[in-house]
Structure 1
Amino acid sequence: MSDEISRLARGTLLPSFAGATAPRWLLDELERGLGGVTLFALNGNVPNTEALAALTAEMRKVGDPLIGIDEEGGDVTRLGGHAVPSPYPGNAALGAADDVELTRRVYRSLGAELVEVGVNLNFAPSVDVNTADDNPVIGTRAFGSDPRLVARHAVAAVTGTQEAGVAACAKHFPGHGATVEDSHLGVPIVDADLDLLERRELVPFRAAITAGVQAVMTAHLNLPTITDGVPATLSAAVITGLLRERLGYRGVIVTDALDMRGASGEIGIPEAAVRALAAGADLLCMGPREQEDSVRATLAAIEEAVRSGRLPLERLADAAERTGAVRRWLAGHSPAAVDRSAGLEAARRAVRITGELPSWDDAPLVVELAATGNIAVGPTPWGLGPFAPETVPAEGTAAEAVTLLERATGRGLVVVLRDAHRHTGQRALATALLAARPDAVLVEMGLPVWQPEGAVHLATYGAADANARAAAELLGLTPA
């Protein structure tokens, strides 16, 4: 019985590791039935696609792991190792274009690229309905704020991903779009009763489930009227009550990373793992720092919970059956072809222009304002720099305007923003520049919530390479 408990417990874990080669401890755990791994660019798992393909092949020599990654395209991309922006626009741009067949093509091509490097589980798409403009963690990761629009693109994204032979994972259940706090740092509150959830957050998840999504990821959210202060990831009322019983979902349920404060900040990862499993989760994404020692401690906690009766052995057996079904599904699919042209086409169709773009005899000065990202986005480069002869960085203070205006004397001026509605400094500097140069063009590469009246404004709905190329084409920019 002890061996059976250990085997089933291992099968629920998706830990991480450091480097571009699998450490010995990980290979040993895979041989013993470890569920799989989560890859993180910040851990050095993705130095390049060739190395990643070799890494996944190495792991498959000793087991049959689920190999997961956060590859949403757009602002949340891992395949470039945080060094190269994505060739695919993210969900906000796809929602702006609002062509479900194009969304399906983009996700099918993205899935084909994952298959080429041996990844079989993609923690995407985000099907959150982004109703909070100041949402610090979703934003351009959402298709939009209309539940019906999000739902139809959720279906297209799931279908495209799975046509490529990769298991899609709709996230973040029951919906992270109405929050103004990052669950990496705390437990966000979603002040919505069941009726509102049914009309808003749950609409895209129902659609994704109907489309046959292979996995659903939980969020570390507090829904006071439902969870009574317990994060959704640890709540049977959410996982079993809402997702399993009310929505009728029968596939794999994956937790968001358990190292996030929203899940384990008060209780630690081993205890969070036990509670998530008891609530109905099947796979535990542990987080980028949760490696060998954390695996040992978590296994011990799960095994003790089974022996003490806190966690029924049947619950682990149920999780194993669901993950086994995903593996069988994966074995029956053939890969699709990569089609990066779909990404640029979508980015071009997403651009929205307010006012009339000027033409310049000489290349304009491009000023790029600093914008802090969130933990999910990471340090991936962004902006028009690769496409402009001269780009000047700015921190985002009105005091910088004098120097920048001097540099732009006698030529055009382009000011690049990213979620200006969330950055006081960006708005202050942009306003100061526009006061002196009303002919300046504002390029918003986040959500276009803030648009100064009368300004020429170009919105890309994302900061991926495809978004930047589409904007550069319209502005007539060419690298020096």
Structure 2
Amino acid sequence: MNVARLLLPVIRWDAENGFEGFRESIERGLELGVGGFILFGGEARAVRALTDELHRRAPHPLLIASDLERGAGQQFRGATPLPPAAALGSLDDEALAERAGELTAREARALGVNWIYAPVADVDLEPENPIIGVRAFGSAPDGVARQVAAWVRGCTRGGALSCAKHFPGHGRTVGDSHIERPTVRVSREQLEQDLAPFRAAIGAGVDSLMTAHVAYPALDPEGRPATLSPPIIGGLLRGELGYGGLVVTDAIIMEGMTEGGSEATASVEALAAGCDALLYPQDNEAVIAEVRAAVGDGRLPRERVEDALRRIAEAAERVAGPAGGGWGADDDRRWALETAVRTLRVCRGEPRLPAGRVRIEEIEDDGGGPWPPYPRHAFPAALQAAGVEVADDGAPLVVLYSDIRAWKGRPGISAAARARVRELTAAHPEATVVLFSHPRLASDIPTAGNLLAAWGGEGIMQEAAVAWLTGQTGGMVGLGGGLDR
């Protein structure tokens, strides 16, 4: 019984060293016989070269996973990026969501990635939520359920495994499970709203579910997070919802799972609760040793581990073998940009480019956390490509970046950023403000008389804003990568 196959360690791209910074981890993972890896970042051709190597050298079919909520281009430079789920959901078009899922899966498989950690099936029920926001398709449970089901159908058609997350719903939290263990204190009846998209995903044939490191006393009175909760996974998911497929933890390095304790001990608890795959361990050997010890002393039934290994093997077999095709095709990129432009929202006034030369007044509100925000070069590059002269002595165009980001710890616009908008709009009342965040944050900057909301700071949304302002939908430049789960 190779318990190492329960694990999916991380491989991250580094701008200087590519994937070689994780070479030791790659070699050790293959030697141990892990079930797969989760990939973050990378140039598309380098990603394909790496996954070819991993698939070729592994002793069994691998699950190669990635967070691709916003298309394969969210992580892999050269593939097609897509707008955030909330932007797509605002168009209320199931055919569009299905195409997004199909495109994401098709490009992922071409890159050697076969397990997509999407769609987000959370409902955006709490505006103060610091981690979901635009990652969800919307705030209406029925509408989110339809979009999730459509995305799953598209992903299936594209040939990759889908993963609805974060069961049983992360949309009501006011804490970020990367840095704490949030608790959702609502009734079982109210939680039916949260469960609706997961029911729809299961009905659409979703391949896997990812658990939330969130406590729900109405579902588990002992206050265990869903990842560690037998009543939530065994009783609700396996029993009431009748789901028999693969269950993966959210990253086991997150504080919401470990609460300062050992990831090895928490991993045993997750397996005992009904999870099958352990995502993002930092110490593979420690987790493997603890699982073996738990089986040996009876804390973890052997049958439970064998069941988890069976599900992992079956899922990997379904997507084994090479997949052809390419990524970043012009038609797909054009469709993505045109779709992104359609999602933009005029929140106030008449946003427009200033006449003549333009001075970009950039307000950065996405600091904090271990990973940098999306690159900001796509916006000025797209302006220049559209024939706009960008100069320090031009008329101001205010761009405010305030995304939902893991570890950031807040959903709204900071006091410092709001003050800067007030300062600029007081001096230039006619100035247009482009808000790269959820349109509902328009209320945080009431002095912006001409306000365009672009949902998020990804490269594609930067280009979409320029395309809207200039009336052009030319070739895309920005291909920023994302790191949220």
Instruction: Identify whether the pair has TM-score above 0.5, normalized to the shorter chain.
Output: yes
Partner of 2:468: 474
Measure, in 2, the Cα distance between the counterparts of 1:65 and 1:91: 28
TM-score by length of 2: 0.84
Partner of 1:123: 117
Measure, in 2, the Cα distance between the counterparts of 1:283 and 1:201: 23
8 Å Cα contact 1:75-1:140 kept in structure 2: no
The verdict on how the C-alpha distance between 1:17 and 1:366 changes in structure 2, with shifts beyond 3 A counting, is closer
Offset at residue 27 of structure 1 (A): 4.3
8 Å Cα contact 1:363-1:477 kept in structure 2: no
Offset at residue 369 of structure 1 (A): 0.7
Moved more, 201-210 or 438-447: 438-447
1:49 aligns with 2:44: yes
Measure, in 2, the Cα distance between the counterparts of 1:333 and 1:55: 13
Aligned with 2:75 (options 78, 82, 88): 78
Offset at residue 119 of structure 1 (A): 0.6
Aligned with 1:206 (options 178, 199, 205): 199
Partner of 1:395: none
Measure, in 2, the Cα distance between the counterparts of 1:312 and 1:37: 25
1:15 aligns with 2:9: yes
The amino acid of 2:288's aligned partner reads L
Measure, in 1, the Cα distance between the counterparts of 2:433 and 2:104: 30
Residue segments in structure 2 that go unaligned for 5+ positions in a row: 13-17, 404-410, 475-485
Partner of 1:398: none
Partner of 1:217: 210
Offset at residue 370 of structure 1 (A): 0.9
8 Å Cα contact 1:220-1:263 kept in structure 2: yes
The verdict on how the C-alpha distance between 1:380 and 1:433 changes in structure 2, with shifts beyond 3 A counting, is closer
Partner of 2:298: 309
8 Å Cα contact 1:92-1:462 kept in structure 2: no
Offset at residue 29 of structure 1 (A): 4.5
1:29-50 residue CA offsets vs partner (Å, 9 max, x unmatched) = 4365421111233xxxx2x111
Offset at residue 471 of structure 1 (A): 1.1
The verdict on how the C-alpha distance between 1:311 and 1:182 changes in structure 2, with shifts beyond 3 A counting, is same
8 Å Cα contact 1:76-1:377 kept in structure 2: no
Aligned with 2:240 (options 246, 262, 281): 246
1:286-318 residue CA offsets vs partner (Å, 9 max, x unmatched) = 25xx1xxx1111111000100111101100111
Measure, in 1, the Cα distance between the counterparts of 2:170 and 2:232: 14
1:368 aligns with 2:362: yes
The amino acid of 1:209's aligned partner reads I
Measure, in 2, the Cα distance between the counterparts of 1:345 and 1:391: 24
1:387 aligns with 2:387: no
The amino acid of 1:223's aligned partner reads Y
Offset at residue 258 of structure 1 (A): 0.4
Offset at residue 265 of structure 1 (A): 2.8
Measure, in 2, the Cα distance between the counterparts of 1:206 and 1:10: 31
1:449 aligns with 2:440: yes
1:325 aligns with 2:309: no
**3-state DSSP class of the match of 1:225?**
coil
8 Å Cα contact 1:415-1:430 kept in structure 2: no
**3-state DSSP class of the match of 1:316?**
helix
The amino acid of 1:260's aligned partner reads M
Offset at residue 114 of structure 1 (A): 1.1
Measure, in 2, the Cα distance between the counterparts of 1:24 and 1:429: 46
Partner of 2:171: 177
Partner of 1:35: 35
8 Å Cα contact 2:101-2:151 kept in structure 1: yes
The verdict on how the C-alpha distance between 1:314 and 1:349 changes in structure 2, with shifts beyond 3 A counting, is same
Offset at residue 468 of structure 1 (A): 1.6
1:225-266 residue CA offsets vs partner (Å, 9 max, x unmatched) = 323221211111111122111211111000000011111133
The amino acid of 1:40's aligned partner reads F
The amino acid of 2:86's aligned partner reads A
Measure, in 2, the Cα distance between the counterparts of 1:98 and 1:20: 39
8 Å Cα contact 1:100-1:152 kept in structure 2: yes
Partner of 1:195: 189
**3-state DSSP class of the match of 1:450?**
helix
The amino acid of 1:318's aligned partner reads D
The amino acid of 2:231's aligned partner reads A
Measure, in 2, the Cα distance between the counterparts of 1:307 and 1:194: 37
Partner of 1:430: 421
Percent identity, please.
Answer: 38
Aligned with 1:286 (options 280, 295, 300): 280
Offset at residue 268 of structure 1 (A): 0.8
Partner of 1:93: 87
The count of corresponding residues between Structure 1 and Structure 2 is 444
Aligned with 1:114 (options 108, 120, 127): 108
Measure, in 2, the Cα distance between the counterparts of 1:350 and 1:119: 28
Measure, in 2, the Cα distance between the counterparts of 1:76 and 1:222: 33
1:347-369 residue CA offsets vs partner (Å, 9 max, x unmatched) = 01101113223454303322111
Offset at residue 329 of structure 1 (A): 2.4
Offset at residue 336 of structure 1 (A): 6.9
8 Å Cα contact 2:357-2:390 kept in structure 1: no
The verdict on how the C-alpha distance between 1:226 and 1:116 changes in structure 2, with shifts beyond 3 A counting, is same
The amino acid of 2:438's aligned partner reads L
8 Å Cα contact 1:69-1:119 kept in structure 2: yes
Moved more, 383-392 or 104-113: 383-392
1:145 aligns with 2:142: no
Measure, in 1, the Cα distance between the counterparts of 2:223 and 2:47: 40
1:98-157 residue CA offsets vs partner (Å, 9 max, x unmatched) = 212112212222222211211111111111111222221112111111111211111122
Offset at residue 71 of structure 1 (A): 1.7
Offset at residue 166 of structure 1 (A): 0.9
Measure, in 2, the Cα distance between the counterparts of 1:371 and 1:60: 40
TM-score by length of 1: 0.85
**3-state DSSP class of the match of 2:429?**
coil
Partner of 2:400: 416
8 Å Cα contact 1:85-1:465 kept in structure 2: no
Offset at residue 12 of structure 1 (A): 0.9
Offset at residue 192 of structure 1 (A): 2.0
Residue segments in structure 1 that go unaligned for 5+ positions in a row: 393-403
8 Å Cα contact 2:122-2:169 kept in structure 1: yes
The verdict on how the C-alpha distance between 1:111 and 1:391 changes in structure 2, with shifts beyond 3 A counting, is farther
Partner of 1:351: 344
Measure, in 2, the Cα distance between the counterparts of 1:164 and 1:29: 28
